[in-house]
């Protein structure tokens, strides 16, 4: 959440680490996930495929490939890479975000298995809230929301469950939109919360931005229960078409890359 200057410093430090130690896999993987969050799926995929050929035994490299595939919307393939990573490094808490490859696909018990790698953290609590909201388990979600202290999006979700005044919800939503939501996946989950709150136009705007940022999110869009109130709209259908195009471009690159 440090904005563009922090992101640039992160990339510079990781590039320097790679220069000092070309075999430092953690630096290569973290840099690749940074690229993904800026929409550079093909660049990251190429780098991580090459890394896997050199270090197939390294679970975190499989995680990086899953990260690319998740953003491309290829959830089954992402899940496979996550499970490979977990088998190789069963205690690596960094694999926690694999939960999102599963809950986007409606595989909630499997998502919770990955959340458990970092049980009790703010990260795992945030993911668990989305899982509970998707299942309509709002009372349990509210209990979990009251323990999240570091993210305004979840204060918004709490206010909506508690049916606070619309003026308060509006202010909380404005505060959320003021954050540096540079990661398109974060825009997607924020859109889920806004849709849950009934703020459909805000949700559609965030969803469009997520796809434009290359969080392709297809076919997740078709089954996400938090978007059920949006699917009938022409704007949602336009976003869906863009998500399919986003995925097709990545798949075409990968097919060419494999030749």
Q: Give the pLDDT score at 4.
A: 80
Domain spanning 1-105: CATH superfamily: Tetratricopeptide repeat domain (1.25.40.10)
Q: Are the C-beta atoms of residues 72 and 185 closer than 8 Å to each other?
A: no
Domain range summary for the chain, segments of one domain joined by +: 1-105, 120-179, 182-259
In whole angstroms, what is the distance from residue 162 CA to residue 180 CA? 26
Residues 78-97 as b/e (b if ≥16 CB within 10 A, e otherwise) read: bbbbbbbbbebbeeeebbbb
Q: State the pLDDT at residue 1.
A: 61
Model-level pTM? 0.94
Cβ atoms of 180 and 1 closer than 8 Å: yes
**247 token code pair:** 């995925």
Predicted pLDDT at 55:
86
Q: What is the pLDDT of residue 7?
A: 86
pLDDT confidence of residue 177: 79
- Average pLDDT by consecutive 10-residue portion of the chain (259 residues)? 82 94 89 93 93 90 96 98 97 95 97 96 95 97 92 94 95 80 90 96 96 96 97 97 98 86
* 128 within 8 A of 108, measured Cβ to Cβ: no
pLDDT for res 149: 84
Q: What is the pLDDT of residue 54?
A: 87
């Amino acid at each position: 959440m440090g904005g563009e200057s922090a992101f640039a410093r992160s990339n510079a430090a990781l590039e320097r680490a790679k220069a000092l130690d070309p075999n430092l896999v953690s630096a290569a993987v973290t840099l690749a996930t940074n690229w993904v969050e800026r929409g550079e799926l093909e660049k990251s995929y190429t780098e991580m495929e090459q890394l896997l050929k050199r270090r197939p035994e390294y679970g975190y490299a499989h995680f990086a490939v899953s990260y690319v595939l998740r953003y491309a919307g290829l959830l089954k393939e992402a899940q496979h890479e996550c499970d490979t990573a977990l088998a190789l490094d069963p205690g690596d808490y960094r694999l926690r975000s694999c939960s999102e490859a599963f809950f986007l696909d409606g595989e909630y018990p499997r998502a919770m298995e990955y959340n458990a790698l970092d049980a009790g953290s703010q990260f795992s609590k945030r993911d668990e809230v989305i899982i509970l909201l998707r299942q309509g388990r709002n009372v349990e979600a509210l209990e979990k929301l009251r323990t999240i202290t570091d993210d305004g999006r979840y204060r918004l979700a709490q206010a909506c469950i508690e049916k606070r005044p619309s003026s308060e919800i509006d202010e909380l939503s404005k505060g959320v939109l003021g954050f540096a939501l540079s990661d398109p996946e974060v825009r997607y989950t924020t859109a889920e919360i806004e849709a849950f709150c009934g703020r459909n136009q805000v949700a559609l705007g965030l969803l469009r931005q997520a796809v434009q940022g290359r969080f392709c999110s297809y076919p997740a869009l078709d089954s996400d229960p938090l978007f059920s109130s949006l699917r009938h709209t022409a704007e949602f259908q336009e976003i869906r078409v863009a998500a399919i195009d986003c995925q097709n471009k990545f798949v075409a690159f990968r097919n060419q890359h494999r030749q």
